[in-house]
Amino acid sequence: MTEEKTYTKEDLLDLLIGHTSFWGETNYDDESLANLDVLDMVSTNISVRLYQLSKETKDRPEGSAAELKHRAWRLLTRCSIHFWKHGHG
């Protein structure tokens, strides 16, 4: 019988994207650059999904639609605030 592995959120991100850190070694840093391209694609897709969800639920009378829209905008806003608060290069 095989043992089930438990993954943390960080483990899943590492599996999906890979490392995005600086090491000062050309091959490692080149991998980080390639992984940043993956991160860009993933974060863009997430933002698009959240925006589409907010449009889809706009002016809907259901309580669940209002909550979905609220959470989608909260996530989009949180990402933007974090970016501007902590600098952008």
pLDDT of residue 89: 58
| 40 in a structural domain | yes
pLDDT at 86 over 80: no
Q: How many domains does the chain have?
A: 1
Residue span of the structural domain in which 24 resides: 9-46+63-85
Taking the C-alpha atoms of residue 18 and residue 47, their distance in angstroms, rounded to an integer, is 20
| 33 in a structural domain | yes
- Tell me the mean pLDDT in the region 15-20: 91
| Number of residues written out for the chain | 89
| 17 in a structural domain | yes
| 52 in a structural domain | no
Query: And the tokens for 14?
Result: 């590492």
Whether the Cβ atoms of residue 38 and residue 18 lie closer than 8 Å to each other? yes
| 32 in a structural domain | yes
| 4 in a structural domain | no
Query: Measured between alpha carbons, how far is residue 68 from residues 53, 56, 60, 61, 73 in Å?
Result: 7, 10, 11, 12, 9
Collect all residues with Cβ–Cβ distance below 8 Å to 18 and sequence separation of at least 6: 31, 32, 34, 35, 38
pLDDT tens track for 33-78? 999 999 999 989 998 999 999 999 999 999 999 999 999 999 988 8
